[in-house]
Structure 1
Amino acid sequence: MSSMTTTAEWIDIAAADAVPAGDVIGVETAGLDIALFNVDGTIHATDNRCTHGDGRLCDGFLEGHEIECPLHQGKFDVRSGKATYAPADKPIRSYPVKVKDGRIWLVK
């Protein structure tokens, strides 16, 4: 019986200081459209598109750990991607993130 090893592909997507405290930015890289959030000094990453109305989450309103879509006010938890407020009912993808040497890395 053989075992398969899966290696995560970490990609460098932004400077850590590019995401202001308590704010969100959008980054397009490696074929991904990512929203980066700085909540209490911790960086979180999700897909940048709302699953309800396809709004750009980086244009939304970040309050605590929730991002509100600018189109229809659906909300998501930026830590997990879970939809937390209607009309959003499907989660967004969240990504593992690490900050190393002043750069933000995520698993593609």
Structure 2
Amino acid sequence: MIRACPVSELPEGEALRLEGSVPVSVFHAEGGYYALDDTCSHQDASLADGWIEGCYVECPLHAARFDLRTGVPNCLPAKNAVRTYPVVVADGVIYVDTRVRQDVA
């Protein structure tokens, strides 16, 4: 598990990029916490820099939208899903389990 940040440091509607061998973004949306591969599957852009609306993040480069719950895009130009990761909140701290990649078929 990777420690992301305290809950108090990630307000609703915000995202945080975690560096690592595979960059991961953590989002606080719709009252929950979600983690996805940070890089848009269409082109090399950070999803943490995108716009969050409901349970979706819009890529800042070409406006592809990804479902934070599943990683599946719901519009072009992205056609491929991004991986999601389990998020755990314990003692007021957000953790991401990057060992468990949840690929979408």
TM-score, normalising length from structure 1? 0.83
Name the counterpart of 2:14.
23
The alignment covers a number of residue pairs equal to 98
What displacement does 1:74 show? 0.6
Aligned-partner Cα distance in 2 for 1:39–1:21: 6
Q: How does 1:47-62 map to 2 (within 5 A)?
A: 47-62=37-52
CA distance in 2, matches of 1:59, 1:20: 15
1:38-78 per-residue CA deviation (whole Å, 9 max, x = no partner) reads 11221101011000011101111111011000111111001
- Aligned partners of 2:25 and 2:38: how far apart in 1? 5
Structure 1 segments unaligned to the other structure (5+ residues):
1-9
- Give aligned-pair identity as a percent: 36
**Whole-Å Cα distance in 1 between the matches of residues 63 and 28 of structure 2?**
20
Pairing partner for 1:39 from 29, 32, 35: 29
Matched, 1:106 2:92: no
Give the letter for the 2:78 counterpart.
A
CA distance in 2, matches of 1:71, 1:49: 11
Once the two structures are superposed, the pairs formed by residues 58-77 of structure 1 within 5 Å of their partners are 58-77=48-67
| Distance (Å, rounded) in 2 between the aligned partners of 1:71 and 1:97 | 26
